[in-house]
C-alpha cells in the first residue's frame, strides 16, 4: 500500500505574522518558513504506519512555489521515500488544492491519504473533506488515534463533545489532530540521504486542473491593538466603569 501525505510550506509558527505594505496578505519576504505543524504530524503518522508493516511506500506531496522542495526534503529526511511537487506561484484555495491532490491520487492510487487537519496560515480545515468528496473515499478527520484492523481503520476523533471512535474502509482520507503523535526530528545522516531521494516536479498547467480563484481578497488588516487596562480604587468604581464604559452590565 502507498501512503500519500500532504506537506505545506507556511510561515514558521514562531514568527509574528505581519500584513504586507499593499494589504493583500501576510509578508513572506525574508522571513522563516517551515512545514505546517499539522503536516509534520501527518508525516510522522504515515511513517509509523509504514514501520508497523501496513504500508510499503510513503510519498510526500506539496503544492506551491519551487521553495516548497525544501519542505518535501524535510519530509524525506524524516523518512518518506519520495516526493512530488506541483509547482505554482499562485495562492490556491482549498478546492483547487483538493482537485490537484485528486489528480495525484488517480496517478499514484494510494491506499491512504494523510493530511494535516488544517494549515496554520489559512486555518480553512477544508482540503481533506473536499478531497474525500471528489474521490469518493471515506474520510476520518481530526484523528487523535489510528488503529489498523485488516482493510479497515479504527480512528478516534476529537470532537466538541469529547472523543468519537469510527471505522472506515480503505482507501480513505485521514486528517491529523495535534494529539495524534509527536513528530520525530530528522537526523543529520538522514538529511544528507534525503538530498538523493527522488523528487518529481510537475507544473500546475500540466495537470489539466482548473485552479482559477473563486474568491477575491479585498483587504487584509492586523487586529486592533488591545487597550491598556485601568486600575480601579474600589468596587463601586469598577461597577460604574462596567456599566457606563464597557456597557456589560
pLDDT value, residue 110: 96
The model's pLDDT over 222-233, given as tens digits with 9 standing for 90+, comes to 888 888 888 889
Percentage of the residues of the chain whose pLDDT score is greater than 70: 100
245 in any annotated domain: no
Q: Which pTM was predicted? A: 0.86
The model's pLDDT over 150-176, given as tens digits with 9 standing for 90+, comes to 889 999 998 888 899 999 999 999 999
247 in any annotated domain: no
Q: Which domain holds residue 35?
A: 2-223
73 in any annotated domain: yes
241 in any annotated domain: no
Cα-Cα end-to-end distance for the chain: 61
Collapsing DSSP states into helix, strand and coil, what is residue 92?
Answer: coil
Collapsing DSSP states into helix, strand and coil, what is residue 21?
Answer: coil
CB-count exposure of residue 184 (10 Å: 0-12, 13-18, 19+): middle
Residue 22 confidence class, pLDDT cut points 50, 70, 90? confident
The model's pLDDT over 36-81, given as tens digits with 9 standing for 90+, comes to 999 999 999 999 999 999 999 999 999 999 999 999 999 999 999 9
230 in any annotated domain: no
Count of domains in the chain?
1
235 in any annotated domain: no
61 in any annotated domain: yes
Backbone angles phi, psi at 78, to 5 degrees: -70, -25
Indicate which CATH number applies to the domain containing 198: 3.40.50.620
- β-strand partners of 86: 63, 202
Give the range among 9-13, 17-21, 126-130, 145-149 with minimum mean pLDDT.
Answer: 17-21
pLDDT value, residue 249: 78
Over the range 93-130, which residues count as b (16 or more CB within 10 Å of their CB) and which as e? bbbbbbbbbbbbbeeeebbbbbbbbbbbbeeebbbbbb
Q: Tell me the C-alpha distance between 47 and 56, whole Å.
A: 10
Contact (CB, 8 A) for 244 and 232? no
User: Quick one: how far is CA 121 from the chain centroid?
Assistant: 9
Nearest Cα to Cα of residue 144 among 119, 176, 166, 192: 176
103 in any annotated domain: yes
Amino acid at each position: 500500500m502507498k501512503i500519500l501525505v500532504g506537506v505545506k510550506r507556511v510561515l514558521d509558527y514562531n514568527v509574528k505574522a505581519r500584513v504586507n505594505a499593499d494589504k493583500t496578505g501576510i509578508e513572506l519576504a525574508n522571513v522563516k518558513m517551515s512545514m505546517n505543524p499539522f503536516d509534520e504530524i501527518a508525516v510522522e503518522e504515515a511513517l509509523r504506519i509504514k514501520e508497523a508493516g501496513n504500508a510499503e511506500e510513503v510519498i510526500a506531496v506539496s503544492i506551491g512555489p519551487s521553495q516548497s522542495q525544501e519542505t518535501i526534503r524535510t519530509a524525506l529526511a524524516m523518512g518518506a521515500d519520495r516526493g512530488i511537487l506541483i509547482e505554482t506561484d499562485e495562492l490556491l484555495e482549498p478546492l483547487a488544492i483538493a482537485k490537484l491532490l485528486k489528480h495525484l491520487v488517480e496517478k499514484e492510487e494510494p491506499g491512504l491519504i494523510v493530511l494535516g487537519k488544517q494549515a496554520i496560515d489559512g486555518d480553512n480545515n477544508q482540503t481533506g473533506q473536499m478531497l474525500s468528496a471528489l474521490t469518493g473515499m471515506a474520510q476520518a478527520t481530526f484523528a487523535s488515534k489510528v488503529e489498523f484492523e485488516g482493510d479497515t481503520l479504527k480512528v478516534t476523533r476529537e470532537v466538541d463533545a469529547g472523543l468519537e471512535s469510527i471505522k472506515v474502509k480503505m482507501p480513505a482520507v485521514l486528517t491529523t489532530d495535534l494529539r495524534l503523535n509527536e513528530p520525530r526530528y530528522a537526523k543529520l545522516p538522514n538529511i544528507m540521504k534525503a538530498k538523493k531521494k527522488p523528487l518529481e516536479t510537475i507544473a500546475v498547467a500540466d495537470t489539466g486542473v482548473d485552479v482559477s480563484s473563486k474568491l477575491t481578497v479585498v483587504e487584509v488588516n492586523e487586529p486592533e491593538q488591545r487597550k491598556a487596562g485601568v486600575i480601579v480604587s474600589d468596587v463601586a468604581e469598577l461597577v460604574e466603569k462596567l456599566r457606563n464604559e464597557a456597557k456589560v452590565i
